[in-house]
Amino acid sequence: MTDMSRYHRQTLFAPIGKEGQAKLAHKHVLIVGCGALGSSAAEMLARAGIGELTLLDRDYVELTNLQRQHLFTEADVENKTPKAVAAANKLATINSEITINHVVIDATADNMVNYVKQVDLIIDATDNFDTRFIINDLAHKYQVPWIFGACVGSSGMSFSIMPGQTPCLDCLLKVTPVFGATCDAVGVIGPAVQMVVTHQVTEAIKILIEANQKLRTQLVLFDLWHNHYQQIDVSRSKQENCKSCGVTPTYPSLTYQNSTKTEVLCGRETVQIRGRKYPLESLESKLAQFGEVQANPFLVSVEIDSKRLVFFHDGRAFVHGTNSIEDAKKIYYQVVG
């Protein structure tokens, strides 16, 4: 039996109350991406008592993450723990009374659909628009609200997308310049991340307790360094002929076949290759001939000629130390044969 006193200050807050708290306990939220935005959103939602959280992320913890990604530690860097796993482990020590699932995959239309169907809300904590457009289409197809969030430098923005009511991401992009649409190389400060998460999680709680009349219907934009705050009314940007949220949707991002896509990861000097699934145990012995191998239950990595290759269960590999797809593939095939 849950000891409700842990939520005392939240139930004392009249708009939530005991009734709202009871609703939260029966809700399930999918958090796509478990970096700066995702780990903080997950922490706030876990502390707030959301009954079930599913954390989805493709990456593992690196030293450059610790400046702004709250749930991670130096031990996670040392062990190359996948972010979704590290976050879930930490959250379990914060709130053991909720269910927390971790999924180490690169989000695609195919592998996300089953998660989307099970949840009440999706939090966008990704760093790329390919994934956001997949979320946008899945959310509209299965009528699940989702909350867009992005940040760069000292700026951030957020908008809550309610299928059938608000404009969708595609509609929004046609009327408002949205940053993050290109590869950003200007860095980011921790407070900007937290400000976006604050907006996302507040709206999430409103949606989950069905306080619909209190939802923020405007796009929020800010720049903490330059002291700029803005809310933009985008209600008229909803397009009747939109392929994602219009009257006859075709959900273009769900039909796009990208299962063999090789891509350069934004600002990371890393190429992601989707290849064959190799059993990690057999890779571990095979890679030993090339250099020092590091392994955990989720990945195997090896360093070769100042490049690091990391192989995951789902057939993906990262080649760190290059932005060249050609170079990355060359070393990848040299290793896997």
Binding site for Zn ion (CB under 5 A): 168, 170-171, 242, 244-245
Q: What are phi and psi of 210, to 5 degrees?
A: 60, 40
Min CB(103)–Zn ion separation in Å:
27
Min CB(162)–Zn ion separation in Å:
12
Q: Of 133 and 312, which has the nearer Cβ to Zn ion?
A: 133
Q: Of 198 and 239, which has the nearer Cβ to Zn ion?
A: 239
Residues in the chain: 337
Q: Which residues pair with 153 in a beta bridge?
A: 188
By C-alpha distance, which of 24, 26, 2 is closest to 204?
24
Q: Of 102 and 140, which has the nearer Cβ to Zn ion?
A: 140
Q: Of 155 and 244, which has the nearer Cβ to Zn ion?
A: 244
Q: Of 151 and 169, which has the nearer Cβ to Zn ion?
A: 169
Min CB(169)–Zn ion separation in Å:
7
Q: Of 127 and 170, which has the nearer Cβ to Zn ion?
A: 170
Q: How far apart are CA 305 and CA 150, in angstroms?
A: 35
Angle at 312 between CA 310 and CA 316, to 5 degrees: 85
Q: Which residue is nearest to Zn ion (CB)?
A: 242
Within 13 Å, how many C-alpha atoms sit on residue 252's CB side? 10
Residue 312 CB contacts under 8 Å (≥ 6 apart), including other chains? 58, 104, 298, 299
Residue 221 CB contacts under 8 Å (≥ 6 apart), including other chains? 155, 156, 157, 228, 229, 230, 231, 232
Min CB(254)–Zn ion separation in Å:
14
Contact assessment for residue 317 and residue 275, using Cβ atoms and an 8 Å cutoff: yes
Min CB(250)–Zn ion separation in Å:
12
Min CB(124)–Zn ion separation in Å:
15
